[in-house]
Amino acid sequence: MTGLELKKLREDSGVSQRELAKYLGYYVGELPNRSMISRFELGYAKINPRIERLCKDYLEKKIIK
């Protein structure tokens, strides 16, 4: 999954970067770290297969609802 694919899937599902960060467990202090999702989407951080699967599972369920 590329960063652009992640962004499109996230936007199509109506999920914010912060909400996805919270689901994936990316936090800075007590707040979800949306900058990590931004880094994925912009291609600055690699999306490993585990994160890809978690994103797809979560976001595709949101589209169905």
- 42's CB contacts (< 8 A; 6+ apart) are 3
3-state secondary structure of 31: strand
What pLDDT, in 10s, does the model give residues 5-23? 999 999 999 999 999 999 9
pTM of the predicted protein model: 0.92
pLDDT single digits (tens) 31-57 = 999 999 999 999 999 999 999 999 999
pLDDT of residue 62: 86
Domains of the chain (ranges; CATH) run: 3-64 (1.10.260.40)
* Residues 19 and 59 sit within 8 Å (Cβ to Cβ): no
Task: Measure the N-to-C terminal CA separation of the chain; round to a whole number of Å.
Answer: 23
Q: What is the pLDDT of residue 9?
A: 97
